Amino acid sequence: MNRRLSLLTFGLALTVTLLLAGCSGGVRATTWTTLILHNGTLYVADLEQVRALDTETGQQTWAFPPTPDLRQYGPFYTVTLLNDELLLVTSYERTGGGLFARSRGVLRALSLNGGQMAWPQPFTADGEFIAPGAAGDGIFVIGNSDGNVYGLRIEDGALLWQYPTRSRVWATPLVISDTVYIASLDHHLYALDLESGALRWQFGAGGAMADRPLVLTDTLYVGSFDHNLYALRLADGTEIWRFTGANWFWGTPASDGTRLYAADVDGNVYALDAATGQEIWRSQVQGTVRLGPALSPDGKRLLVASENGTLFGLDTADGFVLWQQAGQGQLGSMAIGGEKVYVTRINAPQRVQAFYVENGRPVWSYPAQQQ
């Protein structure tokens, strides 16, 4: 590893530590919490537990474990939908005992109906699982801070393959047909065979890449810490165009099919022509932006989440900030479902919140706010 990459990796690790140095309930967070939507239910990694919440009311339907037990389970960080029956959850736990005790990344499959454990035993890795994984054709793929990409059999969690990169893997994979596309902090985006993990092609950027690429037809779009957003040919990773912003591009861009919407970590928000990379408009929000923006179903609102806890609603026509909703703690993740946007918060009394996309008005919070 060269000196530049070493310093960058150290800086990123320090960023995570500083941003997420604590959380409610006394659990120390070392990465962000995530959520997903499925059939009217919100599945949330909530540090102390994994919860299933009703999307309309925020009421809990089940939790794993039924009561928090951090000596045995957790803290829990990410959730991934494996299929219509199973949910994959990640945690970072002390395993073993005595001289053999160590902290390791842990993967568990839970049933969507009730949250019971579904694999014979958890899968463990030496590093933390920073981001959710992705599933396709009976295989679950996820990156780890130990530098490896793992392919597991969804049925029982058995390891099918692993692919080593040259640095930590903090990005969620993108699975398209029989190929996995996954970025690494080693400055590369890899295209791997889903069944075997064999390398098909790789693209090298000038900086680390830390989130999932976006695909439109035959083009991949991915941001890098070299200040560039890249458009790549899906078939072989050939660069089509690049757009240079003011700072790191961390999160996955959003798109309506013709425009790309991306944000750099300085809070600059860009609308670009997807075919050419030409800038259409530029706006700015306050605070550090790590998450990629989210687009409303009607394409009229762009939601941008700042690490300072503020959620912004922008007009996609010109980038004008229509509303903003401040809150306690860091925003960990965001997902839009219909007319609502759902967020997780860390170091805040309300760990999950729902707002209306149109105007930012609060819908509910979990736990419910005391009147």
Please compute the mean of the pLDDT values over residues 202-230 and round it to a whole number: 98
Q: Where are the domains of the chain?
A: 1-204
Give per-residue pLDDT as tens, 100-112: 778 899 999 999 9
Contact 248, 264 (CB under 8 A): yes
What pLDDT was estimated at residue 296? 98
Q: Which helix (H) or strand (E) is 140 found in, with range?
A: strand 139-143
Question: What b/e string do you get for 85-102 counting C-beta neighbours within 10 Å, with b at 16 or more?
Answer: ebbbbbbbbeeeeeeeee
In 3D space, the residue among 31, 4, 24 whose CA is nearest the CA of residue 332 turns out to be: 31
Cα gap 177→185, rounded to integer Å = 25
Do the beta carbons of residue 231 and residue 239 sit within 8 Å? yes
The pLDDT, as a whole number, for residue 26 is 53
Tell me how far the alpha carbon of residue 275 is from its chain's centroid.
Answer: 26
Mean pLDDT of all residues in 344-349: 93
pLDDT of residue 200: 98
Structure tokens at 340: 């609502």
pLDDT band at 324 (very low <50, low <70, confident <90, very high): very high
CA–CA distance, 184 with 167 (Å, rounded to integer): 7
Q: What is the mean pLDDT of residues 212-227?
A: 98
Q: What is the pLDDT of residue 100?
A: 72
Phi-psi region of 11 (alpha: psi -120 to 50; beta: other; left: phi over 0): alpha
Angle at 235 between CA 233 and CA 239, to 5 degrees: 25
| Token pair for 352 | 């999950």
* Distance between CA atoms of residues 124 and 143, nearest Å: 12
For residues 302-317, give the mean pLDDT.
97
Q: Taking residues 70-89, what's their average pLDDT?
A: 95
Whole-structure pTM value: 0.92
Which residues lie across from 162 on neighbouring strands? 150
Report how far residue 75's alpha carbon sits from residue 12's, in angstroms, rounded to the nearest whole number.
Answer: 21
| Local confidence band at 66 (pLDDT 50, 70, 90 cut-offs) | very high
Identify the CATH number of the domain defined by range 1-204: 2.130.10.10
Find the length of the chain: 371
Per-residue pLDDT reduced to its tens digit, 116-133: 999 999 999 999 999 999
Structure tokens at 269: 């928000």
Residue 3: the pLDDT is: 39
